[in-house]
Structure 1
Amino acid sequence: MFDIDGVYNSQNDRIWAVNRLEADIKGGTRQKRKFPQKVMVWLGVCSKGVSPLIFFEKGTVDHDRYIKEVLPVALKFGNDMFGNDWIFQQDGAKPHTHAKSQEWCTKSFPSFIDKSHWPPNSPDLNPLDYCIWNEFAQLIEWDAVTSKTTLITALKCAVRKISQDVVFESCSSWTNRLYRLSQDKGNYLR
């Protein structure tokens, strides 16, 4: 989810400082509108690049929207990148784990890691979570964002600037991260 006030994740964003003044100088205090204009996006990533962005300007994404609007794009992107030899991985969001979504994925993708074979909360194993979303947000020209229209334009520009080297390295580290996670009995990576 992106809004015109920028990206801020109260669960994950932290400012380390000696006192409140130093924290504010480092960006600790942010003014946010009460109801900023926002847009939800979906993005896929693989070692060869990033997928097209999918925008959800209105409403929420349930399994029906996910099946109709996202999964066909993911399938085309994967097939264009790898032919018929690739595995689709997704996180544990409700639209992803819904029985109909799981069924669609099982029937449509060349190979698919279903919800019973993937940890439900696994940000350490998702290149989007541990690397790409941050890279993407840093490339957005936030000073130009004043409305939903300019936000969408900025998102489209920023996604084209994501470095192929960053994408490749984040995906390359995946097997190492998987191994480290298995050695640490599933605890978060430090």
Structure 2
Amino acid sequence: MKSIDFQNIVLSKYQNGDTPTKTFHDLNGGIGLRTIRRWCQMILQSGSITLSSPPGCSRLARTKGNIRKVKNRLRRKKRVSAQKLSMELDISERSVRRMLKNDLGLHPYKKVVEPLLSDDQKIKRKKFANWIRTNFRKEETMRILFSDEKFFDINGVDNSQNDRV
């Protein structure tokens, strides 16, 4: 429910003679009791619920226009860092990251580098699997722990945290 819907419900209940506490219980905690009491005071004074401005600070960087600029920039060229975007659009890097994550629903994708198996290695693996199937009984295989986890480091130390898309 939107705030306007809550305001209309509180207004109608107050005009019907319900107390703020009863209205709070009827709304099942959907809105705070203090807010309902404040709104009832506004109704008593002015006859309606008039909020001067939405609560909280106004947005300076994450405006709809800036979000549209970031979205259009990503359409032109997909692979661009948040740092380069912030420099191009003259917005702080943190604000650009918030726009990408919260407003546009984009997340960094971490590339997983896996070593390629040669045809010879694939043949050897199949031979080993067939050999295990023919030479061992089920009871004997239950005592063997097979693990396919191995960290391959071919080109020196690689920090995958730095390799994002």
- Flag the structure with more relative contact order, 1 or 2, with Cα contacts below 8 A and sequence separation at least 6: 1
Question: Does TM, scored on the shorter chain, surpass 0.5?
Answer: no
If the length of structure 2 is used for normalisation, what is the TM-score?
A: 0.19
* More helix per residue: 2
**Greater radius of gyration (CA):** 2
TM-score (norm 1): 0.17
